[in-house]
Amino acid sequence: MNILSLSRRELLGHAGMGLAALAAPGLAVPAKGGRMEALKHRADWMARGKFGMMVHWLAPGPAPEKGEWVRDLNKAVDAFNLDRFMKQFKESEADWLLFTIGQNTGYYCSPSATLDRLVGPGHASGRDLILEAARAVHAQGKRFIAYLPAEVKGQSEEIHKGFAWNPADQSEFQKRYAGFIREYAERLGKNLDGWWFDGCYTWPDFHNSLYDWPLWAGASRAGNPDAALAFNDGSFCIAITKPLSAYQDYLSGEVEVLKEGKVRLGREEDGRLILPEDRFVEGTYCQWHALAPIDCFWGHHTLGPMEPPRYSNEDLIAFVRNCHAVGGAVTLNVGIYQEGHIAEKTLAQLQKLSAAMRKG
């Protein structure tokens, strides 16, 4: 069932089933004047918050600020200074944290019995950095989103074999990978408020029209039926402005460039500039959301100091304010060092943004 195509009457008829049964974005009905107002939505907290923070800490970690780059998985994860990072997160006043479990390095910063069984030991850390981070975020009264790619295309042959990666038929891969996701979802439980799945593209290896959406949604919400989901198909980077799936609660919203305080669509210099006009993506009940890097380009890859903030305080504040004014949500990707802290210049910019948002 595609809930995005349901009429208002059909939506209300299904309301008694509950959102978990439909596994779709939140129920919404037209209010007076025709504006869509959410009665209940898994991403309500995103619309209420000021902004979120994302970091790409891909095990065994990005480049350090000082010293040698640690290549051993467990040594690197064990050395992550979570106390320092959480202090910075609190000082930033971000309302949610989007943190990477892993991506294309072949390593993950959280234990996984499923990964050990399918691929063999040595790919997942002993320390559960993800669970520790999620609990620490919740201790601050904030929300936690986990990141994983929805594919293993760029991984080793060993991982391909373990997950049954097969461009000719990805049905078995989906079943195995869903088990991998489910283990994390169940362990994190209510400490997991959402997922951001990357790599849901139209490439021939695993075209996004072939996804078993109920399987993905069921695994992702195994520990928390209210977990908000996003599936990234390139989104604003490739001039896509609508959600990929009806099982999506908020737009993945990947942005490469902000220009004049707006999102640039596509990768052309003269691409159209946009801002949200409403909380929901037009014609859907999917929370509008943008994810943009504000210092390094997604990750810190060279030893030494972090790249400086790429936008002026004025432009960044204007962008977040304009999105927030209509109920849109924004996550800002900030560079992180292998040691587990962000750059002071970036933190200072986030503090100025928070101060401006408090003033309204």
The pLDDT tens digits for 286-300 are 999 999 999 999 999
Within 13 Å of residue 353, how many CA atoms lie on the same side as its CB? 33
Say if CB 283 and CB 242 are below 8 A apart. yes
pLDDT of 183:
98
| Longest Cα–Cα distance in the chain | 62
Q: What domains sit in the chain, N to C, each tagged with a CATH number?
A: 38-359 (3.20.20.80)
pLDDT of 31:
38
Sign of CA dihedral 14, 19, 22, 27: positive
The list of the chain residues with pLDDT below 50 reads 1-38
Q: Which residue bears the tokens 């504040």?
A: 317
Say if CB 333 and CB 294 are below 8 A apart. yes
Please name the residues in contact with 99: beta carbons below 8 A apart, sequence gap of 6 or more: 54, 55, 57, 130, 133, 134, 144, 145, 146, 147
The rounded distance, in Å, linking the Cα atoms of 193 and 188 is 9
pLDDT of 35:
42
The rounded distance, in Å, linking the Cα atoms of 129 and 12 is 41
Please name the residues in contact with 308: beta carbons below 8 A apart, sequence gap of 6 or more: 295, 343, 345
pLDDT of 40:
81
C-beta atoms surrounding 45 within 10 Å: 19
The rounded distance, in Å, linking the Cα atoms of 101 and 81 is 16
